[in-house]
Amino acid sequence: MGDYKNTLLLVIFCIFSSAALIQLFYYLFFYLSVYFKRFSEIKKTSEPVSIIICARNEAENLNNFLPSVLEQDYPDFEVIVVNDCSEDDSYEVLAKYLKQYPHLRISTVNKDPKFAHNKKFAQFIGIKAAKNEILLFTDADCRPDSDKWLESMVSHFDENNKFVLGYGGYMDKNNLLNKYIRCDCMTIAMEYLGMAIRGIPYMGVGRNLAYRRSVFFSNKGFGSHNHIVSGDDDLLVNTIANWKNTSVEFRPGTHTRSIPSTGINEWITQKKRHLTTAPYYKFRDKFLLITEPLMRILFYLAFIVLLSFMFLWPWALAIFGLRLIVQIVVLTLVQKKLNEPGLLAYLLFFDIFSPIINGVIYLSNFRSISRKNKWK
């Protein structure tokens, strides 16, 4: 019986060591590349750009944040706001700004009880209305970190580039839910930016994403993913983007900041909507994305078992400590790069819980009643 127990514990130790090694690979190969990414000087360009914002009942946010988009320091751009079936004061807010900013354009989608639609339809209306080849997307509840956001994002476009992936963070609020939302956002950014830097772009965020109009139409719009509520950003990137046609931009001043969810139910609903796109990713991307959190769960479970039986505990502690040191160093550097101060302790605390939380929310999607046509 003793030999069987020792053999089993040895297997668990091997699982623990392998899980740690795989996580170190993710941290040192993918995540750390975000910190070491160096950008060349911003290339001056005057190519016209269309910024597209879809808004439904966003009067307050449009009033607060739209000027920061309209006042970008760039010679030639238009801002298209798709006012999608709004029932608040959005019309009045937009009318006010139309008088002040001649480059603001409004596309209105009127409510039709016979035709329910998701965000992709509103976005399609905006893309159809756009006059320019380069499209830059953000949300009504977002503000750019500086008036150089537009110039920096579009400076990457050349004859090869079709996508530019930016960073969209959340505003800092003094509560635990906000800390988790910001940690979750930064963790996802480490993945999609790091993988794109390493030549494996798999997603972007609609809060800060640019691509060519011709790419959209050559893909027949949102293609085979048109029926999915989410995916106007990540699934389009996942389908078309590759190491040759994709760049990243996340230097200071190019981030966008969004208003975070204020209640747990609101955040869970938003998270569930985002996770509906995961099954449609390429197999390679799904494998890479599920491996790290799975290894994290195995790592912590195996560590607890090894310490409980004091099996090879000096080695277990040494491996745990090495992973923790690498984790602290990488997270500290990336946190600085993405201008997300004050998150390190929370990132370490949530490290063990986030794959479980995301897994539960993802599985709950299979039990939920379809919300096919609702985006807000």
Across 139-177, b (16+ Cβ under 10 Å) vs e yields bbbbbbbbebbbbbbbbbbeeebbbbbbbbbbeeeeeee
Give the residue with greater pLDDT, 40 vs 304.
304
Alpha-carbon gap, residue 218 to 215, rounded angstroms: 5
| Mean pLDDT, residues 132-143 taken together | 97
- Report pLDDT digits (tens) over 180-227: 999 999 999 999 999 999 999 999 999 999 999 999 999 888 878 877
Mean pLDDT of the chain: 93
pLDDT for residue 222 = 85
Residue 368's pLDDT band, with cuts at 50, 70 and 90, is low
Side chain identity at 25, as an amino acid letter? F
- Residue 53 has phi, psi (to 5 degrees) of -130, 125
Using alpha carbons, select from 112, 57, 98, 48 the residue that is nearest to residue 76. 48
- The domain locations on the chain are 2-35+284-342, 40-280
Segment 281-289 mean pLDDT: 95
Q: Work out the angle between the directed axes of helices 176-197 and 313-337 (0-180°, nearest 10).
A: 90
pLDDT value at position 224? Answer: 80
| Residues 268-284, mean pLDDT to the nearest whole number | 90
**For a pLDDT cut of 70, what percent of the chain falls above it?**
96
Position 369 confidence tier, pLDDT thresholds 50, 70, 90: very low
Say which CATH topology domain 40-280 has. Answer: Spore Coat Polysaccharide Biosynthesis Protein SpsA; Chain A (3.90.550)
Q: How far is CA 98 from CA 67, 153, 310, in A?
A: 11, 25, 70
Average pLDDT over residues 270-298: 93
- Report pLDDT digits (tens) over 151-176: 999 999 998 999 999 999 999 998 99
Consecutive H or E run containing 13: helix 2-25
Beta-bridge partners for 136: 51, 210
Task: State the DSSP H helix or E strand holding residue 166, giving kind and residue range, or none if neither.
Answer: strand 163-166
Q: Give residue 228's pLDDT.
A: 80
Helix, strand, or coil (residue 52): strand
Q: Is the pLDDT of residue 42 over 70?
A: yes
d(CA 235, CA 123): 14
Q: For residue 371, name the pLDDT band (cuts at 50, 70, 90).
A: very low
| Confidence at 233, pLDDT banded by 50, 70, 90 | confident
Q: Please give the pLDDT value at position 304.
A: 97
pLDDT at residue 345 is higher than 50: yes
pLDDT tier at 43, thresholds 50, 70, 90: confident
CA 213 – CA 236 distance, rounded (Å): 12
Is it the case that residue 374 has pLDDT exceeding 70? no
Express each pLDDT in 56-66 by its tens digit: 999 999 999 99
Q: If you average pLDDT over residues 228-251, what whole number do you get?
A: 91
pLDDT digits (tens, 9 = 90+) for 304-338: 999 999 999 999 999 999 999 999 999 999 999 99
What is the share, in percent, of the chain residues with pLDDT greater than 90? Answer: 80
Model pLDDT for residues 78-94, shown as the tens digit of each residue: 999 999 989 999 999 99
Helices H, strands E: what count in the chain? Answer: 14, 10
**Quick one: which of 23, 26, 19 has its CA closest to 298?**
19
- Number of Cβ atoms within 10 Å of the Cβ of 55: 24
Flag whether pLDDT at 373 surpasses 70: no
